[in-house]
Amino acid sequence: MRRPVVDMAACTMCEGCLDLAPEVFGLNQAGGYIEVAELEAYPEELVQEAVADCPAEAIAWEEA
């Protein structure tokens, strides 16, 4: 299974991924970073749109 990951070193916190796929990406208020929800399956189209739209190219797929 593939899951999305966010490279926090590259992330600019634009929060575009939160708008595109709020069921996948969330803002960790305590840590101030974007986190990926633990899901059994990730909506391919929404995640791929977030990958394509990320201005910092900080979102990618990894094999889980």
Pairing status of strand 33-36 against strand 25-28: antiparallel
Distance separating alpha carbons of residues 14 and 32, to the nearest angstrom: 12
- CA-nearest of 28, 23, 37, 1 to 11 is 28
47 is written with which tokens?
């995640």
What is the chain's pLDDT, residue by residue, as a tens digit (64 residues)? 899 999 999 999 999 999 999 999 999 999 999 999 999 999 999 999 999 999 999 999 999 7
Would you state the pLDDT for residue 16? 97
64 is written with which tokens?
């889980």
Would you state the pLDDT for residue 35? 97
CATH number of 2-63: 3.30.70.20
Would you state the pLDDT for residue 64? 75
Distance separating alpha carbons of residues 17 and 31, to the nearest angstrom: 17
